[in-house]
């Protein structure tokens, strides 16, 4: 069974152009899945039943996996099964009637506008590193891009004349996102004054660099963010996706329409974007309760 998983992952990488991060996640999920299935005594890929899959999903949920991660696991199993059907390794689809977990119940972590302003003020611009970090944080909040998208940006990703980013998202899908004045000026300052100091004569098109003149890693960015989150004194869990969640929530609170937010986030399905309407409704209820005389 593990051989079939390897074939599927190779198919995703070569024919579908799926990112290494997604393939690694699917590899972990599918290998756990196959291990569980074999542990139930199923000897053949054709012998997997809907009950086997439901039992596996119930197990990982019981082990502490949140609904969003359960859905990712289900997506991996669903795609794997469709691949097996396409390759005529199985005849029936045991996943077809299994529903997704209720992700809308899990509201994303967001910062208020005041909290976000406090966090963005932490790096400053007293050094090349601080100028770079300010540019990255401002750009994350201004555009709602994922950290993987941020770290893969090149100099050519920025349209300086119009002030927008060309972002390469999941599945190689390209989208255009406005930068806004604040992020524009911060990125411009970084490119003009700090980036050449990181390059040290090297040649690379990557926009954001480390001290060695190389591209930043996800782990490197996480350490940077953790430092400023601690420095800000905010008693909230702050992670890279907090910027994306806050970006969408603040746009909707300001009156942006859902379809525009969907386009800027790069969501293929508007139902994914609709989670943020729950966030804004909850916040409106809290405001009403606090300030209305009969709240």
In a shared domain, residues 248 and 286: yes
Catalytic choice (68, 170, 175, 283): 170
CATH of the domain at 77: 1.10.150.130
Catalytic choice (8, 26, 141, 276): 276
Catalytic choice (132, 195, 244, 245): 244
Last residue of a domain, one of 103, 123, 158: 103
- Higher-pLDDT residue of 255, 208: 208
Q: What are the pLDDT digits (tens) for 46-61? A: 888 888 888 888 888 7
- What is the model's pLDDT at position 211? 93
Catalytic choice (32, 185, 188, 241): 241
Catalytic choice (8, 33, 146, 245): 146
Last residue of a domain, one of 51, 82, 103: 103
- Is 267 part of the annotated catalytic residue set? yes
Q: What are the pLDDT digits (tens) for 192-225? A: 999 999 998 888 999 999 999 999 999 999 999 9
Q: What are the pLDDT digits (tens) for 269-288? A: 776 787 777 667 666 677 76
Q: What is the 3-state secondary structure (H, E, C) of the chain?
A: CHHHHHHHHHHHHHCCCCCHHHHHHHHHHHHHHHHHHHHCCCCCHHHCCHHHHHHHHHHHHHCCCCHHHHHHHHHHHHHHHHHHHHCCCCCCCCCCCCCCCCHHHCCCCCCCHHHHHHHHCCCCCCCHHHHHHHHHHHHHHHHCCCHHHHHCCEHHHEECCCCEEEEECHHHCEEEEECCHHHHHHHHHHHHHHHHHHHCCCCCCECCECCCCCECCHHHHHHHHHHHHHHHCCCCCCCHHHHHHHHHHHHHHCCCCHHHHHHHHCCCCHHHHCHHHHHHHHHHHHHHHHHCCCC
- Is 197 part of the annotated catalytic residue set? no
Q: What are the pLDDT digits (tens) for 97-155? A: 777 665 544 556 789 999 999 999 999 989 999 999 999 999 999 999 999 899 999 99
- Is 245 part of the annotated catalytic residue set? no
In a shared domain, residues 10 and 134: no
Tell me, yes or no, if the pTM score tops 0.85. no
In a shared domain, residues 150 and 228: yes
Tell me, yes or no, whether 108 lies in a domain. Answer: no
Question: How high does pLDDT run on average in the chain?
Answer: 88
- Is 241 part of the annotated catalytic residue set? yes
pLDDT category, 170, cuts 50, 70, 90?
A: confident
User: Number of structural domains, the chain?
Assistant: 2
In a shared domain, residues 117 and 99: no
């Amino acid at each position: 069974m593990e051989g079939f998983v390897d074939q599927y992952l190779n198919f995703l990488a070569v024919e579908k152009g799926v990112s290494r991060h997604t393939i690694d996640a699917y590899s972990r999920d599918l290998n756990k899945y196959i291990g569980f299935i074999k542990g139930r005594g199923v000897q053949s890929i054709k012998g997997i039943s809907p009950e086997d899959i439901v039992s596996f999903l119930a197990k990982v949920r019981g082990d502490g996996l949140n609904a969003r991660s359960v859905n990712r696991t289900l997506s991996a199993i669903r795609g794997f099964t469709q691949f097996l059907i396409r390759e005529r390794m199985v005849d029936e689809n045991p996943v077809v009637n299994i529903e997704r977990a209720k992700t809308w119940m899990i509201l994303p972590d967001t910062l208020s506008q005041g909290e976000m302003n406090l966090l963005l003020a932490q790096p400053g611009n007293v050094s090349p590193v601080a100028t770079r970090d300010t540019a990255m944080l401002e750009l994350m909040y201004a555009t709602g891009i994922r950290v993987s998208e941020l770290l893969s940006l090149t100099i050519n990703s920025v349209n300086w004349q119009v002030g927008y980013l060309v972002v390469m998202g999941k599945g190689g899908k390209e989208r255009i996102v406005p930068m806004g004045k604040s992020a524009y000026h911060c990125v411009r300052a970084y490119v003009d004054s700090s980036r050449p100091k990181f390059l040290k004569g090297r040649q690379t098109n990557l926009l954001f660099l480390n001290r060695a003149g190389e591209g930043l890693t996800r782990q490197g960015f996480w350490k940077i963010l953790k430092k400023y989150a601690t420095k800000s004194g905010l008693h909230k869990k702050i992670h890279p996706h907090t910027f994306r969640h806050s970006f969408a929530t603040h746009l909707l609170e300001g009156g942006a329409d859902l379809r525009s937010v969907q386009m800027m986030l790069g969501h293929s399905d508007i139902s994914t974007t609709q989670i943020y309407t729950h966030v804004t409704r909850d916040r409106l209820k809290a405001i009403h309760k606090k300030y209305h005389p009969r709240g």
